[in-house]
Amino acid sequence: MKIAFSKPSLPTEGAIVAGVLEGKALGATARALDEAAGGGLSRAVAASRFEGKKGQSLTILAPAGLDVSRVVLIGLGKAKDMDALAAQAFGGAAVAQLLTSGETGAVLAVDPVEGAPLPETEFAAQAGFGARLRSYRFDKYMTKRKKEDKPSLKRLTVATADAAGAKTFFAVLDKVADGVVLTRDVVSEPANVIHPESLAEVAEGLKDLGVEVEVLGEKQMRKLGMGSLLGVGQGSERESRLVVMRWNGSADKDCAPVAFVGKGVTFDSGGISIKPGAGMEEMKWDMAGAGAVIGAMAAIAGRKAKVNAVGVVGLVENMPSGTAQRPGDVVTSMSGQTIEVINTDAEGRLVLADALWYTQDRFKPRFMVDLATLTGAIVISLGHEYAGLFASDDTLAKRLDAAGKAVGEQLWRLPMGEAYDKQIKSDIADMKNVGGREGGSITAAQFLKRFTNDVAWAHLDIAGMAWSSKDTATCPKGATAFGVRLLDRLVADYCEDKAGQ
């Protein structure tokens, strides 16, 4: 679907989408349409339960007196709540109504609204962003879909007073959307298509954006002493990979980078501690942390952010086989610390242990943020509303929280501490890889912290957020790309040259 911007004008064909404020207050465009339709729209509104509340919509087909084939009224809620997320939801709702409606073109009217916190031009750009995000489809394997189920909408024109300004603003958001789409694509792909080698190849594609990409194979990782990561992949036919992506966008080439680290388990069968069959197919998206880091790097490079950023993803497939690691095995990590592998299904932390250590050791970053679908326990704690946030640095935690709020990817901070750390003491090695059922997400974070070497660090447990079982305002059900917008925003607000340091 193509998104364009134009000056306000009433279309003579296709669909027109217009906003209505809570309390049935028609916006300027809806009022103009209503007038042309001899009051037909207000009569339709009066006859319905549509009140202009957020999330509501009302479609009027073939309205008498108008040339358009349909008018879609979308509830904007209250003027004071019309922020960037509301704008995205507005654009998303338009697409949800029209994508498979049979319409091929639509105009999305953005009207001036008194008391709205966001300038109209930005509102229009954000609406376009939301529309693009909501139009995402992963349907390449659907060969027999009925015509009426296929997307029909090809063009969405956002009509707004300063169309040129909105277009300029949108161009930046469009790069972020590129990152989101890349992440959703790799997370959606099945594990026979996306495995460590092929995911590394996707990351290598970022070279086109000016990102330096290095791919380390098993031999190199063995040389570096990454026994923890390699142990997870040793049961798989696929070779493990570690991918390093570097974007040098700061004017100061020597400025210490920010670093993002991702768990990339391209399939998590549990290994010898094999998972139950029901739902195991979901573990194709156990690389969503790595996917988000790759997408965030694409966004940051795509919009040429003035920052030095490093993305490191540990890519492995966790399989049971004659060569797989066993419960009870002891592995030595790159840090030199030894780990007793009690449960081969607690593999993400084993991958991140070496990826985190490598990242701080090689790049001496300002801070590290890792993203991982790490524990089922975080889904029990927070459900599908917040990702878990763990941090050794309060400023970083606050900034992540603020960035998450701004983009609608919410985080909830959980505690850490010595008492939890004790739970991963081992009788035979420096630590064990599980700490019991109690506080399972926290002991996982404690484990990771041991590999951060006291660099400012935060860990996002995104197990409950990487995949959505239902459509949301800006995301159809499936892979969400949680973390891409958040990391991009963290960089934009706090890490770029001249930003708040």
Are the C-beta atoms of 12 and 101 separated by less than 8 Å?
A: no
- 6, amino acid identity: S
For Zn ion, give the closer residue by CB, 266 or 452: 266
Question: What residue is closest to ligand BES based on CB?
Answer: 376
Shortest spacing between CB 428 and Mn ion, in angstroms:
22
Q: Does 313 bind Zn ion (CB under 5 A)?
A: no
Shortest spacing between CB 435 and ligand BES, in angstroms:
8
275 is catalytic: yes
What phi, psi does 374 have (nearest 5°)? Answer: -90, -45
Any idea which residue has 């169309």 for tokens? 163
Two tokens at 341? Answer: 């592998």
Residue (of 460, 471, 455, 343) closest to 401 by Cα position: 460
For Mn ion, give the closer residue by CB, 297 or 377: 377
Q: Which does residue 440 bind out of Zn ion, Mn ion, ligand BES, none, counting CB within 5 to 8 angstroms by kind?
A: ligand BES
Task: Pick the binder of Mn ion from 178, 268, 329, 340 (CB under 5 A).
Answer: 268
Shortest spacing between CB 139 and ligand BES, in angstroms:
24
For Zn ion, give the closer residue by CB, 265 or 369: 265
Q: Footprint of Mn ion on residues 110-139 (CB under 5 A)?
A: none
Longest pairwise C-alpha distance within the chain:
82
For ligand BES, give the closer residue by CB, 257 or 440: 440
Going by C-beta distance under 8 Å and a sequence separation of 6 or more, which residues neighbour residue 179? Answer: 295, 296, 297, 298, 299, 300, 302, 481, 484, 488
Q: Does 461 bind Zn ion (CB under 5 A)?
A: no
**DSSP secondary structure of 408-467:** T--EEE----HHHHHTT--SSSSEES---STTHHHHHHHHHHTTSTT--EEEEE-TTTSE
Burial class (CB in 10 A: 0-12, 13-18, 19+), 125: buried
For Mn ion, give the closer residue by CB, 250 or 344: 344
Shortest spacing between CB 35 and ligand BES, in angstroms:
53
Q: Which does residue 375 bind out of Mn ion, ligand BES, Zn ion, none, counting CB within 5 to 8 angstroms by kind?
A: ligand BES
- Count of residues touching Mn ion (by CB under 5 A): 3
Angle between helices 288-302 and 196-204 (to 10 degrees): 10
Two tokens at 458? Answer: 């935060």
Catalytically annotated residue among 349, 399, 432, 485: 349
Candidates 149-157, 243-251, 291-299, 347-355; binding stretch for Zn ion (CB under 5 A): 347-355
Residue (of 426, 406, 424) closest to 485 by Cα position: 406
- For ligand BES, the binding residues (CB under 6 A) are 268, 286, 343, 345-348, 373-377, 379, 434, 440, 463
Q: Footprint of Zn ion on residues 260-289 (CB under 5 A)?
A: 265, 268, 286
For ligand BES, give the closer residue by CB, 166 or 377: 377
Shortest spacing between CB 265 and Zn ion, in angstroms:
5
Distance, C-alpha 311 to centroid of its chain: 15
CA distance 381 to 379: 5
Going by C-beta distance under 8 Å and a sequence separation of 6 or more, which residues neighbour residue 201? Answer: none
Q: Which does residue 340 bind out of Mn ion, ligand BES, Zn ion, none, counting CB within 5 to 8 angstroms by kind?
A: none
Candidates 138-146, 161-169, 257-265, 335-343; binding stretch for Zn ion (CB under 5 A): 257-265
Binding interface with Zn ion (CB under 5 A) = 265, 268, 286, 348
Which residues form the catalytic set?
275, 349
